[in-house]
Amino acid sequence: MTMHRSRMYALIVDAPDRDAPQAARFWSQALGVPARVDPAEPQFTSLAGAVDGLAVAVQSVDDAPRVHIDIETDDVDAEVDRLVRLGATEVSQWLQCHVLKAPGGHLVCVIPVHSDPELFAATARTWE
């Protein structure tokens, strides 16, 4: 077994496609931060600065409204295996994102490192 590191990267508010623009406006105003759509990933509206060290966004989804957590890691397969051993079940995979369902039904996405490398190095936990 190899050692790897991971950390909570993002809190994502999933909103049905038709409601996502209104949800993004609401959360932007409620949290007092600007809402910015990334042209490369237009399904995400970033709410940068809502929580220090954590990405917060509204995601337009073809599904029910919910909140999910993204965990970033330097070894996606090892982190997925670790979370499955803890009781999660893998639901799907999209590109390098593995979607898991945690006990209790909440979704967790495991993704490669997206944050600033210095922030990741300073805040990630090490796992065996």
Average pLDDT value for residue range 72-93: 97
Q: Which two tokens stand for residue 124?
A: 């990630």
**Which stretches of 1-128 are DSSP H helices?**
20-31, 76-85, 117-123
Residues 6+ apart with CB under 8 A from 14: 58, 59, 61, 63, 64, 65, 66, 67, 68
Task: Give the tokens for residue 30.
Answer: 């409620």
CB 84 within 8 A of CB 92: no
pTM score, whole prediction: 0.92
Mean pLDDT computed over 45-55: 95
Could you tell me the residue range of the domain that residue 26 belongs to? 4-127
- Total structural domains within the chain: 1
The residues that bridge with 36 in the sheet, in sequence order, are 46
pLDDT (average), residues 51-70: 95
The domain that contains 97 carries what CATH number? 3.10.180.10
Query: Structure tokens of 10?
Result: 């993002």
CB 79 within 8 A of CB 4: yes
Mean pLDDT, the chain, whole residue set: 96
Judge whether residue 62 has pLDDT over 60.
yes
Q: Give residue 75's pLDDT.
A: 97
Do the strands 41-46 and 55-61 form a parallel or antiparallel pair, or are they unpaired? antiparallel
Which whole number is the average pLDDT over 3-32?
A: 97
Query: pLDDT confidence of 38, banded at 50, 70, 90?
Result: confident
Other CB atoms within a 10 A radius of the CB of residue 90 amount to: 14
Judging by DSSP bridges, how do beta strands 4-16 and 125-127 pair with one another? antiparallel
